[in-house]
Structure 1
Amino acid sequence: MLEAERIGWGASGRNGGQAIAGFGCGEAKLEALVGFEDARRMFDLSREGLHWLRERIRKHDIACDWRDGHATVPIKPRQQRETQAAVEDFATRYDYPVQWWDREKLRDQLASDRYLGALYDPNSGHLHPLEYALGLARAAMAAGAVIFEHSRVTQLVRGDKPVFRTAVGEVRCDFAILAGNALVQGIAPELDTKIMPVGTYIGATVPLGEARANALIRNDMAVADTNWALDYFRRSRDHRLLFGGRASYSTLPPPNLRGTMTRRMRRVFPQLADVQIEYVWGGYIDISLNRAPHFGRLTPNVYFAQGFSGHGVIATGLAGKLMSEAIRGQSERLDLFAKIQHHPFPGGRALRTPMLVAAMAWYKLRDALW
C-alpha cells in the first residue's frame, strides 16, 4: 500500500465519524438511477457494510469508541414531510427498521429546540475515525500487508503488470486499486472529472464535563440535519461536543473558521453561549455529480472506488470488500455499481468549481426559504 502522507491523514482520519447506512445520494435518487430492485440490492449491501464495520472492530479489538444510534433531523416543514415519508419507505420497501420521533420524543434525547423531529436509526452510529483507520492499518499489517507512508504516487502505468511510480521507487503488481478519493489527482484523468473535492470542517469544544455533555445528547447518538449544507455533531469520549459542517465548494478554507463553527453550534445549542471551540480542523471529501458511489474498473486489473459523497465510513469498507471479491473472480456485486451512470462535472477544469459554487448557493437559499 502506498500512502502519500501518513495513514489516516486524509478523510479516513479527519471525518465526522458518522457511520450511516445507505449512500450520499439517498434511496430515491438511487432508484431513479438504477431502478428499485438494484437500488434495494445496493442498500442491502450498505447494511452488510455496516455489519462488516462492526465485525472488524470486534475481531481486531479496535478501540474506536463505537456508539449505536443516528438521528436525521429536519428543520423545515418540507423537510419534515420528506423525512417522515422516508421512515415509511424504509419500513415498507427496504425492510429497514428506523423510527419516526416527533419533536417531543426527540427533545427527550436532544437538548435543542431547532428540529421538528427525527428519523432515528438504531443500527447506524458513530466512532473515532482516526482510531478506526489506524486499527485497520495494524490489522492489515498483522495479516501481511506492507504499508509505505510518505510515498506519493506520481504515475500509474497500466498493462499486464500495473506499475505505481513514486519519486523514489516503483511498485509492480498483478492488480492495482485507486482508493485516494478527493486526493487522487492526475493518476487517472478519466476519474478526476467525475468527482469534486469539497472541504468540510469540524470544531471540538473545550471539555464540557460528563454531566453537561450527557445533557446535550442523552443517548449519545450522532445527529445530522437535512439541509443541503448540513450541520452534524456528536459527543466525544472526553466529553466534548464535536460539531461539523460549513462545507466549502470553492476549495478555499472559510475565513474565521473557529468563529463560524461557534455561531453554528450556538444556533443549535444556545445553552453553550459560554463555551468556546478549542480545536478546528477540516479536509476534503469527494462528491460525484449525482452523489452516488462510483466503483468499478479502468482496465481488467485496475480497480477504483470514489464518490463517497460524505458517506464513506461504511461505504469505503464496502468498496474494499467488493473489489477484493472481484479480484478473486467474483465480480457480480461490484459490477452492480457499474450500472450507475456517472458524468463529468460541467464546465471543464476552468469553470466547474465556479459552477458548483453557484449551484450550492441556490441549494443553501432553498434551505433557508422553504
Structure 2
Amino acid sequence: MEWQSPIAPGLSWYQVTLKDRPTYPMLDGSVSADVAIVGGGYTGLQAAYQLAANGVDVVLVDAARFGDGASGRNGGQLGTGQHWWPEEMETKLGQARSHAFFKLAEDAKSHLLDFARAHKIDVDFRPGQLTVAHKRGMEDSYRHHIDALADRYDYPHLSFMSRQETAERLGSERFFCGIRDIGTGHIHPLKLLVGTAKAAAKAGARLFEQTKALNIDRADGRIAVETERGTISAERVLIACNGYIEEHLDPRTAAKIMPIRSFIGATVPVPKSKNVLPGGESVDDSRFVVRYFRKTPTGELLFGGREAYTANDPKDITRHLYRQIAEIYPSLAKIEITHAWGGSVGITLPRHPLVEEIMPGVTSIGGFSGHGLMLSNYCGKLYAEEILGRSQDLDLYRDLDVPAFPGGGPLRKPLLFLALTWFALRDRF
C-alpha cells in the first residue's frame, strides 16, 4: 500500500514514480548530539549532510516521513533569483545588497545541481523556464527586467517573448507575452530529497522519521529537544519546519511564517499532437495566486495552483485544477488527472526568508515564499558552514526585518482565507 502523508493530502506523482524511498527509524529513547535538527526537508537534511560530512555529531527528527512536506511535493521549478526581481530589491534594499542576494541565489542554483551530480542523484533535470503574463500591459516591465539582469547582474540568459512566441512555446494562446530563461530549469523534487537523506545518513547523521518534536528549552547548559519518544540534548539546534512550523514548538517563528496550501495535479501523458510545451520548459504565470506547470520527461502534465482558498484541505483537489487546465489548454479539458496532491508553502510578510535566533544556540530557518527548492537547500548548507566557521553568508538573511503577521500565530488561518480570496479575485480583473 502506498504511504499517505499525515501532514498533506493526496498521493503525489513524485511518490508513485519513485522506485526507492527508504524508511528511517523512529527515535527510541534519549540521545545526545552536537547539533539537533527538527525538520527533514531540504534545509534540515542538507545541513545534516554538511555537518556530518565534517565530523559533527548530528541527530535529525521529523514528525512525518522525509518528503511528506513541501520539499517532496513542490512544483519542481528552480527559478532565478529571490522572490522579488533584482530591480525591485534595489528599491527596497539598495543595489549592493540586491547584488549580494542575486549572487546567493545563483550560488544556490549551482550548488543544487552540483550536489546532485556529486552524489549521483538523477533528479530528471530539464532546462528552461517561461514566465508569462496573464494580463495586458506587462511588456515594459518584462523588457526592463531582462535588460536589468543582463546589464547590471551579468545574467544574459533571459529573452523577451512576443505574444506569438509565447503561444508557440506554450502551445496556448492564453497569455500576452513572456520571458524565457535558459539559465534555469526544473527537476523531480522528491528524488533530490531522498538522495539528500541518503547522503546525510551515509555521512553519519542519525536520522529519525515519525518522531514529533514537542518542545525546545535549555537544560543544564545545553538545549533539550523533547519529542514523543525521548529527549535530544545538544549544543545547538536548527528548526527547519518552514510552512509546517507549529506554535507549541516555536510560537515566534509560527507568527512570522504563513502556511499557504498549494495543489498540483498530474495528468496522463499528453499526446504529442497537442503541441503542449514542445520545448520542455516549466512555466509560471504573473498571478499573485500563481499557476505553475510543466511536463515530465515521460509526458505527463504537472499543473499547480488553485483559486478557492480555505483553511482546510479540499475534498476534491482536482475540480479546480481541471478548470484551470482547460482555461489554458482547451483541448485538454477532458484529459484524465491520475494523481492530485497538496502541501504547505511557507511565506513571510515581506517575502524574504526568515533566519532568526529564537534563543541562544537555536536557529530557525524558513519562509522561502515559493523559492524553497533552491534557497532552502542552500540555507541548510550555509547554516552548516556558519557552525564550521567557514562562512557568514547566512547573515544576509538574518539582517533582514521579517515582522510577524498581524495577529501573530493564532490569526494566521483566518487572515490567510481573507487575503488570498482577495488576491484571487484581483487576479481575474
Aligned twin of 1:195: 257
Deviations 1:307-333 (CA, angstroms, capped at 9, x unpaired)? 111110000111112111211124531
> What is the rounded CA distance, in whole Å, between the counterparts of 1:290 and 1:342 in structure 2?
6
1:143 positional shift: 1.3
Secondary structure of 1:87 counterpart: helix
Aligned twin of 2:349: 289
Deviations 1:208-243 (CA, angstroms, capped at 9, x unpaired)? 35x347x21111111000100111001113321000
Aligned twin of 2:62: 3
> What is the rounded CA distance, in whole Å, between the counterparts of 1:330 and 1:63 in structure 2?
29
1:254 positional shift: 3.5
Which of 243, 254, 269 is residue 182 of structure 1 equivalent to? Answer: 243
Q: Is the 8 A contact 2:323 2:333 kept in 1?
A: no
Aligned twin of 1:171: 232
* CA distance 1:86–1:344, change in 2 (3 Å): same
> What is the rounded CA distance, in whole Å, between the counterparts of 1:294 and 1:164 in structure 2?
21
- 2:344 is the counterpart of 1:279: no
Q: Is the 8 A contact 2:132 2:166 kept in 1?
A: no
Q: Is the 8 A contact 1:69 1:123 kept in 2?
A: yes
> What is the rounded CA distance, in whole Å, between the counterparts of 1:364 and 1:247 in structure 2?
6
Deviations 1:130-173 (CA, angstroms, capped at 9, x unpaired)? 11100111111111112101111111123642221111112122
Which of 7, 15, 32 is residue 74 of structure 2 equivalent to? Answer: 15
Aligned twin of 1:235: 295
- 2:196 is the counterpart of 1:146: no
> What is the rounded CA distance, in whole Å, between the counterparts of 1:299 and 1:322 in structure 2?
19
TM-score for both structures, normalised by structure 2: 0.81
> What is the rounded CA distance, in whole Å, between the counterparts of 1:34 and 1:330 in structure 2?
25
Secondary structure of 2:369 counterpart: coil
> What is the rounded CA distance, in whole Å, between the counterparts of 1:128 and 1:248 in structure 2?
27
Deviations 1:54-93 (CA, angstroms, capped at 9, x unpaired)? 1011111112211111111112123333222221221222
Secondary structure of 2:235 counterpart: coil
Deviations 1:108-134 (CA, angstroms, capped at 9, x unpaired)? 322010112221111211111111100
Which of 244, 249, 270 is residue 208 of structure 1 equivalent to? Answer: 270
> What is the rounded CA distance, in whole Å, between the counterparts of 1:347 and 1:168 in structure 2?
33
- Where do 4+ consecutive residues of structure 1 move more than 6 Å? none
> What is the rounded CA distance, in whole Å, between the counterparts of 2:307 and 2:212 in structure 1?
26
Deviations 1:42-62 (CA, angstroms, capped at 9, x unpaired)? 111000000001101111111
Which of 313, 324, 330 is residue 270 of structure 1 equivalent to? Answer: 330
Secondary structure of 1:9 counterpart: coil
Q: Is the 8 A contact 2:311 2:417 kept in 1?
A: no
1:247 positional shift: 5.7
Q: Is the 8 A contact 1:223 1:233 kept in 2?
A: yes
Aligned twin of 2:19: none
- 2:147 is the counterpart of 1:85: no
* CA distance 1:293–1:349, change in 2 (3 Å): closer
> What is the rounded CA distance, in whole Å, between the counterparts of 1:39 and 1:216 in structure 2?
36
Q: Is the 8 A contact 2:62 2:208 kept in 1?
A: yes
Q: Which residue identity lines up with residue 164 of structure 1 in the other structure?
A: V
* CA distance 1:249–1:261, change in 2 (3 Å): closer
1:292 positional shift: 1.1
1:267 positional shift: 0.7
- 2:285 is the counterpart of 1:221: no
Secondary structure of 1:137 counterpart: helix
Q: Which residue identity lines up with residue 93 of structure 2 in the other structure?
A: V
Secondary structure of 1:78 counterpart: coil
Q: Is the 8 A contact 1:175 1:327 kept in 2?
A: no
> What is the rounded CA distance, in whole Å, between the counterparts of 2:366 and 2:89 in structure 1?
16
1:349 positional shift: 4.3
* CA distance 1:25–1:249, change in 2 (3 Å): farther
Q: Is the 8 A contact 2:307 2:424 kept in 1?
A: no
> What is the rounded CA distance, in whole Å, between the counterparts of 1:54 and 1:112 in structure 2?
30
Which structure: greater helix fraction? 1
**Greater CA deviation, 33-42 or 22-31?**
22-31
Q: Is the 8 A contact 2:128 2:180 kept in 1?
A: yes
> What is the rounded CA distance, in whole Å, between the counterparts of 1:14 and 1:358 in structure 2?
25
Q: Which residue identity lines up with residue 280 of structure 1 in the other structure?
A: A
Q: Is the 8 A contact 1:33 1:340 kept in 2?
A: no
Secondary structure of 1:65 counterpart: coil
Q: Which residue identity lines up with residue 103 of structure 1 in the other structure?
A: R
Secondary structure of 2:200 counterpart: helix
Which blocks of at least 5 consecutive residues in structure 2 are unaligned? 1-59
1:249 positional shift: 5.0
